[in-house]
Amino acid sequence: MSFNQFLYPHVESCPQPKNHLLLLSEEKYIEQFHIQVVQEDGNRVVIKNSGHLPRERIAEDFVWAQWDMSEQRLYYIDLKKSRSVLKCIQFYAEEHFNLMFEAPLDISLSDSGFKLVNFGYSDLQDKEELSEHLTLCVFTNHTGSLCVCYCPNFDSWEQITYSVFYFHKGHSKTFTTTLGSVDSHVTKGITFLNLDYYVAVYLPGHFFHLLNIQHPDLICHSLFLTENSEVIDMLPHSPLQSLSGSLVLDSRSGKLYRVLLNQSYLVEFLRSARLDCERMALLHCALSHGRDPRRLEAKIIQWISENISACHSFDLIQEFIIASSYWSIYPETSNMDKLLPYSSLLTWDTEIPGITLVTEEIPLPLMKVHSFKGYWEKLNSNLEYVKYSKPHLHYNNSVVRREWHNLISEEKTGKRRSTVYVRNILDNAIKVISNVEAKNLEPRLTPLFQEEDTHQQLLIGLMVSELREHLLRHLQGVEKRKIEQMVLDYVSKLLDLICQILEASWRKHNLHPWALHFNRQASAAEFAVFHIMTRILEATNTLFLPLPPGFHTLHMILGVRCLPLHNLLHYIDHGVLLLTEAAVTRLMKDLDNTEKNEKLKFSIIMRLPPLTGQKICRLWDHPVSSNIISRNHVKRLLQNYNKQPWSSVMDKSSFSVEFLPLNYFIHILTDIESSNPALYAFEGHDNVDAKFVEEAALKHTAMLLGL
């Protein structure tokens, strides 16, 4: 018995091409035949020298072989001293082939016979014999992944064990799943399916597992469904045979299917999922197959807004922002999974019901060629990363956090470094903000990007700068302009997602611009939006991500409207609400001077930085603000004052009030102002002089005495 397979049957390099036939013999050898056809008697085509066809021996003593028709690759296993070694031969249209790699496999194979995969249907696939033979498949995809999926003979139907060798990651995972019940009417036989970034493992009637092969580190990034799931009921209950690509054959009906992950169904499934691990897996799966990202993100944001506190193992907003930003630029280069975070989680300790998992390091494939192209170049890059880059290279904002705090501290002390450095950072931020606004085709409901929030602009610009340096350092062979555009798109995506979440909440609760006025009570809708904004702030603060300029002002205004004064001040003191100049200006101008509002304004002013406080005080026409302005003026005048001998006789006619201590003090200030005009004429102190100080002191005293 032998099995035949034509190589490159569709190549039309010449009118009468040379065909190549791959022959696998029951005597455990593989040969390639070169067949030349000639045209005779018009349209008659015959094989030239059919009795003496040129041939080449490809392999000997193999126990398993798989043919990948779409990529023209032959995988086979031979036994060397009872050790299973996986090998791959790549065939080319130019009539040559290469042994690409050898990889040891820690599995038990018998040399008494052999099994063939994807060479056509055979008797071994009859349902009576499926459970007596192991299942072994090799899957690859365009990112340079190499997975070997292995399920040994079943010893028991109480639980099933299978392994996946993630060669592109340098480890294997062995999964053991417990079967709830054994239905004698369900045909036995496990199926592995190649679904691009995922491998599906399916046992009819019992379980369906969707394994994330691009990010297999955390088990929660894979989906594990049991027999009680609706998905199991939807799938065929007969044996499936995995073919090249995503094709499967239902051997019972004889139908051929192409298996795809349905994005709409994934989102609906996300809505009904009850476990955190399922929500995590479905969120990533939906985003990785986003063919219409904007529409998909809108659906996920709607679900997040309805389930904001549903997940206890991870922060939904964090995970969505990080994962969606990652997948938005992932196709740009295959190395993004090594350089950018794809999840907000570093570990996952929660057990997944019915699944146990063992992870082991495995020897890497030994590449047998030295020049790589296409898939092989990406696989080799993955292997080199596993070999030499054990520490994670994922970007994080720790450097940005430190530098941002340094810049803010310098601003407070007035000792900021080179203006060129700061200008470059702010230019980065301007590019990002312009990019976000250019991609926003609809009018924005929320008042974002309407003010210059220097602190957030510094954070945006610093992130652009640090991320660009990170990618330039580790992305070899990618031109600088492309990297700069990727960084710009990535940071823009982060900001845009935050805007989308806030816009969706604003739209859901039907808020209008009058929601930001102080002449009415806050509604339940405003409370809901304030809560969403607080959750966004919590999520971004933990990861130290930038926020859209105007976010803190809007959050502060809603906080004033929604919170009692003691709660508001508690939020301010703990950094939940930030006193932006725009928000405080609104408060001083829009709130009247009722007793409640006076208390609020005074509490706010006393919490402002000195320079900002001096500026804001001038907006509030009140004895308290005049007192603060006067104190600051006096402090400035007297900070370098040296006491001089004074005449005991003062011209009392110049004072309107007989209040000797105050008169004496005002006399000193007047003398300083007249003798040192430079101390008086400093920026922002117009109309503030000794006369202003005197009037402010008298008004404040009268207010304190209740006069």
10-residue mean pLDDT profile of the chain (707 residues): values are 58 58 82 75 68 79 88 88 88 84 88 75 49 79 93 78 95 90 60 91 89 94 86 77 79 82 90 93 91 89 91 94 93 83 92 92 93 91 86 86 90 76 94 92 85 92 96 88 95 96 92 70 88 95 94 93 93 93 86 81 80 65 59 59 54 53 61 59 52 59 60
Q: Which residues pair with 25 in a beta bridge?
A: 2, 29
Q: Interior CA angle at 250 toward 248 and 256, to 5°? A: 55
Model pTM score: 0.83
Q: What is the pLDDT of residue 601?
A: 81
* Max Cα–Cα distance, the chain, nearest Å: 137
Amino acid at 526: E
Dist. CA 406–CA 638, nearest whole Å: 31
Q: What is the pLDDT of residue 428?
A: 96
- Helix-, strand-, coil-residue percentages of the chain, each rounded to 5: 45, 20, 35
Residue 221 near residue 348, CB atoms below 8 Å = no
**Two tokens at 142?**
């365009």
Q: What is the pLDDT of residue 442?
A: 80
Q: What is the pLDDT of residue 556?
A: 93
- The secondary structure element, H or E, covering residue 635 is helix 623-638
Q: Interior CA angle at 674 toward 671 and 676, to 5°? A: 100
Q: What is the pLDDT of residue 631?
A: 57
Dist. CA 536–CA 528, nearest whole Å: 12
Dist. CA 89–CA 369, nearest whole Å: 11
| Nearest by Cα to 682 from 584, 614, 607 | 614
Dist. CA 533–CA 541, nearest whole Å: 12
Dist. CA 409–CA 416, nearest whole Å: 8
Dist. CA 315–CA 305, nearest whole Å: 12
Q: What is the pLDDT of residue 690?
A: 57
- C-alpha of 632 from chain center: 48
**Two tokens at 40?**
């005779």
- The secondary structure element, H or E, covering residue 138 is strand 135-140
Q: Kindly report the backbone phi and psi dihedral angles of residue 624, in degrees, each rounded to the nearest multiple of 5, phi listed first.
A: -65, -45
Q: Interior CA angle at 688 toward 686 and 693, to 5°? A: 175
User: Which of helix, strand or coil describes residue 586?
Assistant: helix
Which residues lie below 8 Å from residue 18, measured CB to CB, with a gap of 6+? 34, 35, 36, 37, 95
Q: What is the pLDDT of residue 445?
A: 86
Which residues lie below 8 Å from residue 428, measured CB to CB, with a gap of 6+? 460, 461, 462, 464, 465
Q: What is the pLDDT of residue 456?
A: 95
Q: Kindly report the backbone phi and psi dihedral angles of residue 40, in degrees, each rounded to the nearest multiple of 5, phi listed first.
A: -130, 150
Q: What is the pLDDT of residue 548?
A: 96
- Range list of H helices, 440-579: 454-474, 480-508, 524-543, 551-562, 565-573
Dist. CA 696–CA 698, nearest whole Å: 5
Q: Kindly report the backbone phi and psi dihedral angles of residue 29, in degrees, each rounded to the nearest multiple of 5, phi listed first.
A: -135, 160
Residue 433 near residue 460, CB atoms below 8 Å = yes
| Nearest by Cα to 57 from 100, 25, 16 | 25
Q: What is the pLDDT of residue 135?
A: 87
For the chain, the structural domain boundaries read 418-578, 625-705
**Two tokens at 579?**
């006193």
Q: Left if phi > 0, otherwise alpha if psi is -120 to 50, otherwise beta: which for 575?
A: left
Q: What is the pLDDT of residue 651?
A: 53
**Two tokens at 134?**
């192991």
Q: What is the pLDDT of residue 332?
A: 76
Dist. CA 650–CA 652, nearest whole Å: 6
| Angle formed by the axes of helices 263-272 and 276-288, nearest 10° | 160
Q: Kindly report the backbone phi and psi dihedral angles of residue 100, in degrees, each rounded to the nearest multiple of 5, phi listed first.
A: -85, -45
Residue 184 near residue 204, CB atoms below 8 Å = no
Q: Which residue has the tokens 């192409």?
A: 258
Q: What is the pLDDT of residue 131?
A: 43
